[in-house]
Structure 1
Amino acid sequence: MEDGTLDRRQVLAGLSGLALGQMPFASFAQTELRIGQRQVTSISDGHLVLPGAMFFDHLPRAELNRILSDHGVSFEELRPPCNLTLMQEPDRVVLFDAGSGAGFMPSAGSMLASLETQGLAPEDITHVIITHAHPDHLWGILDDFDDLVFPNAEVMIGEQEWAYWTDPATVDTIGEARASFAVGAARRLDAIRDQVSLFNGGDEILPGVMAHGTPGHTPGHMSFEIRDGSDVVMVGGDAIGNHHVAFARPEWPSGTDQDQDLGAKTRVRLLDQLATERLPLMGFHLPGGGLGRVERLGDAYRFVEWGA
């Protein structure tokens, strides 16, 4: 793995391990909290199955093994959960990210079943806010027939992220391992073009929802602060991509970030902010439904699940 690219053989190795089929819905984690009049709920889109080398190649193996052992994580295979954030308020039903749909991995794509447990249909969603355009965050915006899953929703995405994935040159510059990501994103973004509104970091995109630029994982990755007075939570997307190495050694590069140096700088900055300001975090690939707090641990950090 060089220059921030993923080896296609690693991706295929991860996909080959997906004979598990769909994960039983009863095992999905769900967590919720109140932000003023808003109910913020973590709902599951299932989980991914990925080779550890995709994350860990070229990291110092002895220290890496110690961190993974401390967290009971295998180097060979990771199964990160996919936690979507649902925000309900009297006049809006907002979904942060759209999940992966049926076409990415058989262990993921359970967003619609999760919505149903909340008494919601896709037509009830008024806004879909995209952290970034990777498959497990965007591809669920269309169904198996390429029809709109959320026909009544305004889809909101950062201007830089939109520009990157809709640029015809991206498929030729992103690298072979991610070329399918570029093709899939461009097709889906074109299909929802009439529903899309763009924003930038620092914008209040909805009342009480502030966008924070957190680039590196993708060029225009965004996180979102939901706040009502002192009640607050940060929806982090993939800016902090796991609960082990990303916290123990946030300055280490991650093979899942398109710009590994920038991703590490963003991760260090965001963890420092979350720990210093004691902001709850809703992480897309973090355990326990993704909701927890960040604690400083010497020169490193740790993720503490909500209620622990």
Structure 2
Amino acid sequence: MTLTRRTVLKGAGAAFAALAARPVWAATELTLGDTRIFSLSDGHLTLPPEFIFAPMPKRELAPILAEHGLGDAPLTPPCNVTLMQSGDRLVLFDAGSGLSFQDSAGKLPDALDAVGLAPGDVTHVVFTHGHPDHLWGVLDDFDEPLFANAEHMIGKAEWDYWWNPNTVEEIGAERTAMAVGAKRRLEALEDAVSFFEDGQEILPGVAALATFGHTPGHMSFELRSGGDSVLVVGDAIGNHHVAFERPDWPSGSDQDQPTAAATRSRLLDRLAAERMRMIGFHLPAGGMGHVERKGAAYRFVPSQG
């Protein structure tokens, strides 16, 4: 049965309690005043190691990989979609992969169903950026918007980048399919999308933070209630190993590697200094945790697991 928004909100306590009891879908939850925040699993990706590690110095990289138990096997980063319930708003940060990217991903509709929610109950979908595992889940099997009742929100710089007809020619052959897929999905959303800029409060208690580099218009979001906050970082901090050990190194996953490295270093410094909680899209244990200094580097401390 498809739930109405009124039914969902009336039964939100039971639904979200069920979510917390299903670690396959939600590793943990946190609260900010009356706002409740959960991590839903969209599955995981399967990536060749060189997708991230190719531009890094091999000799210095080897001990970091060994410390984290990584070898030559494919990387399988989780995909954590943040769900925020605040008053009558149900907000998703990113939409997952859908069924057209990788078989191991695209599980978000199942995650919603497991906790008694339906795509039609979502009021807002807010994008960090336009890569497939964050954007492609906006369309259903019939190429219609999956979150039919939601307002879709994206940074203007990110929209302009993927909308630009030159992007598909300039992005590089290995990313051409990303550009084509992003443009097709954004065209489907054109009449249901709104734009925002760096520093703007896009929803009550939700402020956009420019974290450019992974993509030209990548955004993170500071969720705040009173003096408490959590930062949804998307792919600005893209893994729990090299990104923390050597944030200054270039990563093959980033489109503008020098800018992304500077952004990553700045974010980690702030998160560690302020002891602010964070949610990372590809970090373990649902991506929820905090950052601690580790000598001249950093480490991710999950809230659970």
TM-score normalised over the length of structure 2: 0.91
User: C-alpha distance in 2, partners of 1:295/1:201?
Assistant: 26
2:293 matched residue in structure 1: 296
The answer on 1:71 being equivalent to 2:68 is yes
Superposition pairs for residues 199-214 of structure 1, below 5 Å? 199-214=196-211
**Distance across 2 between alignment mates of 1:222 and 1:198:** 12
Question: Are residue 160 (structure 1) and residue 157 (structure 2) matched?
Answer: yes
Task: Determine whether 1:112 maps to 2:109.
Answer: yes
Counterpart position of 2:78? 81
What CA deviation, in whole Å up to 9, does each residue of 1:148-200 have, x standing for no partner? 10010000000000000011111001111111100000000000111100001
Q: Is the 8 A contact 1:98 1:128 kept in 2?
A: yes
Distance of 1:97 and 1:85 partners within structure 2? 8
- Partners of 1:74 and 1:28 lie apart in 2 by 27
Does the CA-based 8 Å contact 1:31-1:43 persist in structure 2? no
Aligned equivalents of 2:33, 2:72: Cα separation in 1: 41
CA distance in 2 between counterparts of 1:210 and 1:57 reads 34
One-letter amino acid matched to 1:109: G
Partner of 1:53: 50
User: How far is the alpha carbon of 1:72 from its aligned partner?
Assistant: 1.2
**Letter paired with 1:46:** G
Distance 2:72 2:231 in 1: 29
Residue 27 of structure 1 and its aligned partner are, at CA, apart by: 4.0
Q: Does 2:193 correspond to 1:172? A: no
Structure-2 separation of matches of 1:273 and 1:140: 31
Deviation at 1:232, TM superposition (A): 1.1
What is the CA-CA distance between 1:57 and the residue it aligns to?
Answer: 1.2
Q: Which residue of 1 aligns with 2:266?
A: 269
d(CA) in 2 for partners of 1:70, 1:29: 27
Q: Distance in 2 between matches of 1:307 and 1:48?
A: 21
> Do residues 196 (structure 1) and 193 (structure 2) align?
yes
| Displacement of 1:30 | 2.1
Determine helix, strand or coil for the equivalent of 1:78. Answer: coil
Give secondary structure in 1 for the equivalent of 2:106.
Answer: coil
Kept after mapping to 1: 8 A contact 2:97/2:137: yes
Note if 1:254 corresponds to 2:241: no
Q: Which runs of 4+ in 1 moved over 3 A?
A: 25-29
Mapped to 1, the partners of 2:262 and 2:150 lie a distance apart of 33
Aligned Cα root-mean-square deviation (Å): 1.2
Aligned to 1:7: none
Q: For residues 76 and 259 of structure 1, what CA distance do their matches in structure 2 show?
A: 26
Q: Are 1:219 and 2:203 an aligned pair? A: no
CA contact (8 A) 1:122 1:150 kept: yes
Which residue of structure 1 aligns with residue 13 of structure 2? none
Q: Distance in 1 between matches of 2:147 and 2:81?
A: 15
* Structure 2 Cα separation of the partners of residues 51 and 68 of structure 1: 14
Question: 8 Å contact 1:53–1:75 — kept in the other structure?
Answer: no
2:216 corresponds to which letter in structure 1? Answer: P
Deviation per residue, 1:54-89 (Å, 9 max, x gap): 111132222211111111122441000000000012
What is the aligned-residue identity percentage? 60
Verify the 8 A CA contact 1:271 1:294 in the aligned structure 2: yes
| Cα displacement string for residues 225-244 of structure 1 (whole angstroms, at most 9, x for unaligned residues) | 00001221100000000000
Corresponding position: 1:182 with 2:191: no
Q: Tell me the TM-score normalized by structure 1.
A: 0.90
1:29 Cα shift?
A: 4.8
| Structure 1 position 140 matched with structure 2 position 159 | no
Question: In the TM superposition, what are the counterparts of 1:282-293 in structure 2 within 5 Å?
Answer: 282-293=279-290
The one-letter code sitting in structure 1 at the alignment partner of 2:51 is M
- Give the deviation of 1:26 after TM superposition: 6.8
1:109/1:140 contact within 8 Å kept:
yes
